[in-house]
């Protein structure tokens, strides 16, 4: 039965999608069946695993808004054991359309339940907002992985994120956990990186991953080739750290195969 993890931070560009794709591929390399669920209208996770938008006939929008079976939109990727429920720009209208619908907060939960036994991990790549799509992700998930970019104001906005988590716990998903906080785009040469690391640890205590993701140019190149980092450049630092993170996450879930 899959453990469902949402990757969320309402800030854009902090490494949610990079982590969803490469953690997903890393978990698959450990023998896990992994489903990525792209709920960002940008569709970066979708293109990041090599799915051409033009080849998609149905996407997660049809699942959330029209209640079509999620099994009908799931695609295999070129990476073994890694599947994706893709998103396209069609999804950009979903928040407004869902607002007027019944059970709007549980659409993703209802969809995921139907395929949860076919995977070991389901990773939900959230958009950079705390709107209805992210609420759907939090309602459907067991836990939330929060990527935090090592930069000034790294913790800014996190209290809003935590408030949203509290609200979802109260109304829809009392067992929702914080999976962990992941430091991304870390630069060990600067004091700033170290400062952010200390601040995050002070705030989230043991909930911070031992693995820290450094800046690595190969990680930023891989998406334009439609490949997870392990397939684009297996010897890169990026591939090593995301494989390391996958081991850490798998161990926390007792799913090292
Ligand atoms: P988000 O999904 O939170 O908006 P992304 O994962 O798309 O963030 O990352 C934002 C940008 O930073 C992308 O261009 C991505 O390729 C790049 N990026 C992410 N992580 C790293 C990293 N560790 N090193 C270098 N570039 C990165
Ligand atoms: Mg993204």
At 19, list the tokens.
């982590």
Query: What band does 142 get if pLDDT is binned at 50, 70 and 90?
Result: very high
- At 191 the pLDDT is 84
Q: Cα 195 to chain center, whole Å?
A: 25
CA of 128 to the centre of ligand 2 (A): 7
User: What's the CA gap between 101 and 95, in Å, rounded?
Assistant: 10
42 lines ligand 1 (CB under 6 A): no
- At 183 the pLDDT is 95
- Please identify, by atom number, the ligand 1 atom nearest to the C-alpha of residue 40: 2
* Domain membership of residue 29 as a residue range: 3-252
Query: What band does 196 get if pLDDT is binned at 50, 70 and 90?
Result: confident
- At 193 the pLDDT is 84
User: What's the CA gap between 256 and 128, in Å, rounded?
Assistant: 31
At 49, list the tokens.
């695993």
- At 26 the pLDDT is 98
Following CA atoms 89, 91, 92, 98 in sequence, which dihedral angle do they give, to the nearest 10 degrees?
170
Q: Given a cut of 90, is residue 168 above it in pLDDT? A: yes
- Please identify, by atom number, the ligand 1 atom nearest to the C-alpha of residue 221: 16
Q: What is the pLDDT of residues 2-18, one digit of tens each?
A: 999 999 999 999 999 99
User: What's the CA gap between 182 and 200, in Å, rounded?
Assistant: 9
CB distance 73 to 23 below 8 Å: no
Q: Is position 244 within any domain?
A: yes
- Please identify, by atom number, the ligand 1 atom nearest to the C-alpha of residue 19: 6
Element (H, E) at 134: helix 132-140
- Reference 1, options 146, 159, 105, 114; nearest CA is 114
Q: Given a cut of 90, is residue 194 above it in pLDDT? A: no
Q: Is position 218 within any domain?
A: yes
CA of 57 to the centre of ligand 1 (A): 27
**Residue nearest (by alpha carbon) to ligand 1 atom 1:** 13
Mean pLDDT for 134-156 is 93
7 lines ligand 1 (CB under 6 A): no
- Reference 119, options 46, 24, 55, 189; nearest CA is 24
Query: What band does 151 get if pLDDT is binned at 50, 70 and 90?
Result: confident
Domain CATH code at residue 28: 3.40.50.300
Query: What band does 195 get if pLDDT is binned at 50, 70 and 90?
Result: confident
- At 190 the pLDDT is 82
- Reference 34, options 71, 2, 75, 60; nearest CA is 2
CA of 115 to the centre of ligand 2 (A): 24
Q: Count Cα neighbours of 168 within 13 Å in the Cβ-side half-sphere.
A: 29
At 121, list the tokens.
């991990």
At 71, list the tokens.
């099994």
Q: Given a cut of 80, is residue 167 above it in pLDDT? A: yes
3-state secondary structure of 196: helix
Q: Is position 174 within any domain?
A: yes
CB distance 14 to 149 below 8 Å: yes
Q: Given a cut of 80, is residue 42 above it in pLDDT? A: yes
Under 8 Å CB-to-CB from 2, ≥6 apart: which residues?
Answer: 33, 35, 112, 116, 117, 118, 119, 120, 121, 122
CA of 233 to the centre of ligand 1 (A): 16
Q: What is the pLDDT of residues 86-95, one digit of tens each?
A: 999 999 999 9
Ligand nearest to the CA of 147: 1
Mean pLDDT of the chain: 95
Q: Cα 250 to chain center, whole Å?
A: 15
Give me the residue label for tokens 């982590």.
19
Mean pLDDT for 51-72 is 96
Structural domain tally of the chain? 1
At 141, list the tokens.
């998930």
**Residue nearest (by alpha carbon) to ligand 1 atom 12:** 13
41 lines ligand 1 (CB under 6 A): no
Ion ligand 2: residues, CB < 5 A: 16-17, 44
Q: Is position 257 within any domain?
A: no
Q: Is position 136 within any domain?
A: yes
Output the pTM of the full model.
Answer: 0.98
Mean pLDDT for 38-54 is 97
Beta bridge partners of 143: 5, 177
Query: What band does 237 get if pLDDT is binned at 50, 70 and 90?
Result: very high
């Amino acid at each position: 039965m899959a453990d469902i993890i949402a990757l969320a931070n309402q800030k854009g560009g902090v490494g949610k999608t990079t982590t969803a794709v490469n953690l997903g591929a890393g978990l698959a390399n450990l023998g896990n069946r992994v489903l990525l669920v792209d709920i960002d209208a940008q569709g970066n996770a979708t293109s990041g695993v090599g799915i051409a938008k033009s080849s998609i006939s149905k996407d997660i929008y049809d699942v959330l808004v029209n209640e079509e079976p999620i099994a009908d939109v799931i695609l295999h990727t070129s990476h073994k054991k890694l599947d994706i429920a893709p998103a396209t720009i069609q999804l950009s209208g979903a928040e407004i359309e869902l607002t007027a619908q019944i059970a709007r907060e549980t659409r993703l939960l209802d969809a995921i339940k139907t395929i949860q036994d076919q995977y070991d991990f389901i990773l939900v790549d959230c958009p950079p907002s705390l709107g209805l799509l992210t609420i759907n992700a939090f309602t459907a998930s067991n836990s939330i992985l929060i990527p935090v970019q090592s930069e000034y104001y790294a913790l800014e906005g996190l209290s809003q994120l935590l408030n949203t988590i509290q609200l979802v716990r109260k109304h829809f998903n009392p067992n929702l956990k914080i999976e962990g906080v992941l430091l991304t785009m870390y630069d060990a040469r600067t004091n700033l990186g170290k400062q952010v690391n200390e601040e995050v640890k002070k705030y989230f205590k043991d909930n911070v991953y031992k693995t820290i993701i450094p800046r690595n140019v190969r990680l930023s190149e891989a998406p334009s080739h439609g490949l997870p980092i392990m397939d684009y450049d297996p010897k890169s630092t990026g591939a090593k750290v995301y494989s390391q993170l996958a081991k850490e996450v798998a161990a926390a879930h007792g799913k090292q195969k």
